Structure 1
Amino acid sequence: MRFKLHIADTLKLLLEQEDTDADKKITIEDKGPKRFVIISVEGESYEVKGTYHLSNLLQELALEQKLNKVVAEIRLEKIEELPSQRISRMIKEYFWDDLTRTIDKEGLNKILNDEKANDSTQRIYIPEEDVVGQNYYRLLLKKMPNLNIEILPKEIAPKYVKSINSKPGLLALALKNEKGVPFVVPGGRFNEMYGWDSYFESVGLLIDNRLDLAMAMADNFAYQIRYYGKILNANRSYYLTRTQPPFFSSLLKEIYLKNSDVSKNWLSENLKMVIKEYETVWMQNGIRLTGTGLSRFYGEGIGIPPETEEGHFDFELNKYAKKHKLDLNEFVDKYKNGELVDEELDHYFTHDRSLRESGHDTSNRLDDICADLNTVGLNSLLYKYEVDIAFLIKEIFDNNFEGHDAKFWLTKATKRKDLMNDLMWDDEAGGYYDYNFVTQKQQKTEAATNHYPLWAGICSDEQAKRMVKNLFENLVEKGGVAGTSDISDKTNANAPQRQWDYPNGWAPHQMLIWRGLQRYGYEKETQELVYRWLWMITKNAVNYNGTIPEKYDVVKCTHKVYAEYGNVGTEFDYITSSGFGWMNASYQLGLNFLTEDLRGKLDQLVDPDHIFRIKA
């Protein structure tokens, strides 16, 4: 059935009756009757009932209004669409496109005018060696006179990056045929290309048959390695000294497995950049490669990370202000401008930048210690690089690429695995733990990243069995896997809550753990964890006007997470047009894993106390 509705009139009546808290959404917190009669322009009527269906009506009207229509033809099956089907369809048909950006004439304004241009200047930085980019943007100046172009030096040192903190800007990405190569942003205030987000988003893109966008992400990864020396934390000027967890080899392999007809030349050029990143970023002696033979995160830079919000470090900085007997503001000013030197605080910010490079900003697991750790997560990813490179060389390049065969890379992988088992495996606990190479001890924190070896294929079947037991005993909560066990600071009520810690859960952890469990044959456990996560996402979307946010509290199963930066993706009017990048991907991947029976359970709009458990 289809109903022709006058959009403005219907919206006005619907919101007046049902949006009782006036937030331009219809949620379970509104106190309306939850029954609304729509009347078509022909005089036909239909009663829409319940929070979910009413919010769907609101969303459908908003979509039509965006098309500048006065009268909308609303299909009843869209209003009463099954939740899992609707969420997945919205991701595929709307969210990916809404999250796509380009750095060219068509796309620049959307990014340059956002809140991160905090000195109100539209500025783009272009690598010295990117002649094509320089020519393009100089021509663009004629059409965009407010655009400021800055040329980056060939060697980008931390001192230089600090010198441009007062002149923040966007970093150029790849161009092709005088158009920006597209990329997908996380959403909300994150309006640039992020390193590891891009991989997880690409997992969802490949499921939704957006090979074009996944390949574009790979091309932008390659551009960053070629011109910036690394895959950036994100393409903003203040991230030039910082990378993110490495997933390029996984992206390349998954693109090939999705479509083996991908150009061999394209694969060759990108594989060269994968190897360059591996060798020059992660295996760089004394920086990210440590004396143990394993790698660490090491965010280079000087001083306070400029992208953080004002007051973010006050808890820590107050300690040093007292130490120097200064008012907090006076201390911060003196520290920033170099009048005051404190090596202990410098070390703190080295750890903090390294923590941000890990993607886990922030976590008590890594706070004030990250640069001293060979983490399980990072070294699992690098093991995956080594075996992926071997696979691609053998599968595509006749077992010879850049002078090396698959065995050369598999030997590296074996060496890394042996080191990890020697330094990180705790046989008594049945798990891997981050290794502090300064104290030469394991850091016994239960964390989702400890289980990356399942995904990478590092552990034996016996180790996997014990790790799965450890996982369910320590990290599995009602809504999925928590980032860590409860490691909050109980001694100080003013200590900051860390958003990557308990009780919060994050999409990348779920996705890697699902794939890891499946790799080792734990099908029931995979189904359980996928269902817990998707049940939580679906329930929140059903009750809160389609909300798909950045993260969840997996204990309370809510998107109302207020630690540190709040929750991106929860602020919108009428309809979320983009969800959140890796959350979208986790939903699409989860539905790919889930049995039809369990998907059916998602669509039953179960009560808040419902929980799925595997029956013995």
Structure 2
Amino acid sequence: MNVIRIIRGCTLALTFVSCGNRPSVPHGEIARVRDFIRTSWDTSVQYNPVDSQSLIGLPRPYTVPSVSQTFQELYYWDTYFTNEGLVRDGCLDLAKNNTENMLYLVDRYGYMPNGSRTWYLNRSQPPFLCMMVDRVFEETGDRKWLAGAFATLQKEYDFWMTQRITPVGLNCYSSSADDELKQEFVTTGGQRLGTDFRNRGLSDAEILRLGAHFAAEAESGWDFNPRFERRCEDFCPVDLNANLYFYETLFARYALLTGDTVAAETWKKRAEKRRGLINRYCLGEDGVYYDYDFVNDRRSTVVSGAVFSLLYAGIPDAEQARTLVEKALGRLEFEYGIAVCEDKPYEYDYQWSYPNTWPPVVYLAIRGLDTYGYGEDARRIAEKYVAMVVKTFGETRNLWEKYNVREGNINVSNEYDMPTMLGWSAGTFIYASDYLDGKIDNQSKH
């Protein structure tokens, strides 16, 4: 059983400066949270080299997202943000272990599962493995290691391009869930959203279709949210396609490093094709990017924090980025940072919606805004996240999975009992505090 080693101290008090209600947090209070994170990393480490019941064996030690008893396996997209914190905290070897374990899983299964449990083998999660590899390579410069990883990354890319491709050429989320599991997803989805979908007069076929959509939404990592209208398989998500664009641009660079100029040009063309398709199908007349419903040839009506993935990946041109920031940021930014979806009436109380903020969206917003030269906005978002985490740490002596952007606390919309969190909450805190200290240059990455 893991024990959290708590750094004790007095209740933290935050002060606010007048400029845009921006929080000013003393360095000592930030350092207290950083110390807690640094001394807690080892409690999140597991090592299970052989398969055991539902747990999939992994060749190297790895981190789990929570130091409580929740989420005690390796998870896919969580780990990208965790790795950022590990690298910045001097734990490169552990970040590399996480990455190599995922490469192992791709070699074993042909894709990266949602997590290292057999019950997660029916789906993946948002693709970030290429960016994890790139982060390790950025630190080590090991071209031999990169060449081996590149071959495996192309296997994962092939999974997305064969199992998750739509008629319009963009990608979607889905799953390989059987009928029994789809039924379970309908039950779980109803419980988490506070309703019983079986009392809606749906046919057996419609119930199974709904279950398939819920399973796809679980693959999106945003389970559950208003973006996809409970029809996730019908949408081309902007963030998924932004990540795959990032893969293609990195693949072009890796091909050049290996001396394969023909392959590099092919990857570059694939990236440009995807950029064109994203602009064609996802870019609204208002200059905001929306998830595209390819079944009904229409865009979602929800502005979400997923748009920052486009800036993170480098997709918009300068004018498109200016309009996007101008139109979307004001609809998503609140007292304590970025809400994952805009504040508007929704049918259900989704946890991936207002008033919740989730650390990965904060990370992508800071990095994406700064990449395009919106450093003032990025800094403001970073300050708000740091202030919120410091405030709640002072109140609870812990980090959490998600936060309330209106109140700066953990009074959040929940679909289950919210766990304490190290993982992406810690990684994003480390990234944001380092950014505020001037230790990060995002504009050199594109």
* Residue 271 (structure 1) aligns with: 150
Q: Which of 3, 11, 15 in structure 2 is aligned with 1:51? A: 11
> Partners in 2 of 1:531 and 1:584 — Cα distance?
15
1:171: which partner in 2? 56
1:536 counterpart (358, 363, 388): 388
Task: Report the equivalent of 1:397.
Answer: 258
Is the CA contact (8 Å cut-off) linking 2:184 and 2:211 kept in structure 1?
Answer: no
Checking the alignment, whether the CA contact within 8 Å between 1:364 and 1:487 is kept in structure 2 is no
**Aligned Cα root-mean-square deviation (Å):** 2.5
What code does the residue aligned with 1:365 have?
Answer: R
d(CA) in 1 for partners of 2:308, 2:388: 22
8 Å Cα contact 1:238-1:306 kept in structure 2: no
Does 2:223 align with 1:361?
A: yes
- The structure where helix makes up a greater share of residues is 2
Query: Which has the higher relative contact order, 1 or 2, with Cα contacts under 8 A spaced 6 or more apart?
Result: 2
1:516 maps to a residue whose letter is G
Q: Distance in 1 between matches of 2:49 and 2:197?
A: 45
Tell me, in whole angstroms, the C-alpha distance in 2 between the residues paired with 1:356 and 1:539: 30
- Which one-letter code corresponds to 1:301 in the other structure? A
Tell me which residue corresponds to 1:416: 274
Q: Does 1:313 align with 2:313?
A: no
- Residue 154 of structure 1 is matched in structure 2 by none
SS at match of 2:211: helix
CA distance, structure 2, for counterparts of residue 473 and residue 313 of structure 1: 32
Cα pair 2:355 2:412 within 8 Å, conserved: no
Indicate the residue corresponding to 2:443 in structure 1: none
Give distance in 2, aligned partners of 1:557 and 1:309.
32
Q: Which moved more, 1:309-318 or 1:436-445?
A: 309-318
Unaligned runs of 5+ in 2: 1-5, 14-25, 439-446
Partner of 1:129: none
CA deviation after TM superposition for structure 1 residue 265, in Å: 2.7
In the alignment, which residue of structure 1 is the partner of 2:444?
none
- The match for 1:19 is none
Tell me how far apart the structure 2 counterparts of residues 81 and 489 of structure 1 sit (CA, whole Å): 39
Which amino acid counterpart does residue 520 of structure 1 have in structure 2? Y
Q: Which ranges of structure 1 fall in alignment gaps of 5 or more residues?
A: 1-24, 28-47, 54-79, 106-123, 126-147, 149-168, 176-180, 325-340, 570-578, 597-616
Q: Find the partner of 2:47 among 90, 99, 102.
A: 102
Deviation of 1:374 after TM superposition, in Å, equals: 0.7
Which of 554, 563, 583 is equivalent to 2:405? 554
> 1:507 touches 1:583 (CA, 8 Å); kept in 2?
yes
1:193 positional shift = 0.5
1:506 aligns with 2:383: no
Contact 1:381 1:456 in 2 (8 A): yes
Instruction: State the one-letter code of the partner of 1:397.
Output: T
- Aligned residues of 2:37 and 2:422 also touching (Cα < 8 A): no
Are the counterparts in 1 of residues 190 and 197 from structure 2 also a CA contact under 8 Å? no
Q: 1:452 matched to which residue of 2? A: 309
Q: Which AA in structure 2 matches 1:498?
A: Y
Q: What do residues 88-138 of structure 1 show as CA deviations (whole Å, max 9, x unaligned)?
A: 12212x122111111148xxxxxxxxxxxxxxxxxx46xxxxxxxxxxxxx
Q: Structure 2 vs 1, CA of residues 310 and 419 (structure 1 numbering), >3 Å: closer, same or farther?
A: closer
Letter of the 1:289 counterpart: I
CA deviation profile, 1:419-459 (whole Å, cap 9, x unmatched): 11111111x31111111110011112110002211110000
Greater Rg over alpha carbons, structure:
1
Shift of 1:398: 2.4
Letter paired with 2:40: F
SS of the aligned residue for 1:484 comes to coil
Distance of aligned partners of 1:52 and 1:308 in 2 relative to their CA distance in 1, 3 Å threshold? farther
Q: Look up the match of 1:603.
A: none
Matches within 5 A, 1:289-304: 289-302=165-178, 303-304=180-181
Q: Does 1:218 pair with 2:99?
A: yes
Which residue matches 2:23?
Answer: none
Measured at CA, do residues 102 and 487 of structure 1 come closer, stay the same or move farther in structure 2, by a change above 3 Å? Answer: farther
Q: Indicate the residue corresponding to 1:183 in structure 2.
A: 62
2:201 aligned residue (303, 320, 323) = 323
Structure 1 length-normalised TM? 0.64
- Residues 110-121 of structure 1 aligned to structure 2 (within 5 Å): none
Q: CA deviation at 1:586?
A: 0.6
1:582 paired to 2:424: yes
Task: Answer yes or no: is the 8 Å Cα contact 1:480–1:532 preserved in 2.
Answer: yes
Distance 2:132 2:183 in 1: 30
Give the total of aligned pairs.
417
Aligned partner of 1:265: which letter?
K
Alignment partners' CA distance in 1, 2:184 and 2:64: 17
Residues 517 and 103 of structure 1, relative CA distance in 2, 3 Å threshold? same
Asked if 1:407 is matched to 2:265, the reply is: yes
Structure 1 position 81, deviation (Å): 8.9
Shift of 1:471: 2.7
The separation in 1 between residues aligned to 2:292 and 2:354, in whole angstroms, is 21
The amino acid across from 1:351 in the alignment is: H
Counterpart in the other structure of 2:327: 470
Q: Percent identity?
A: 29
SS at match of 1:514: helix
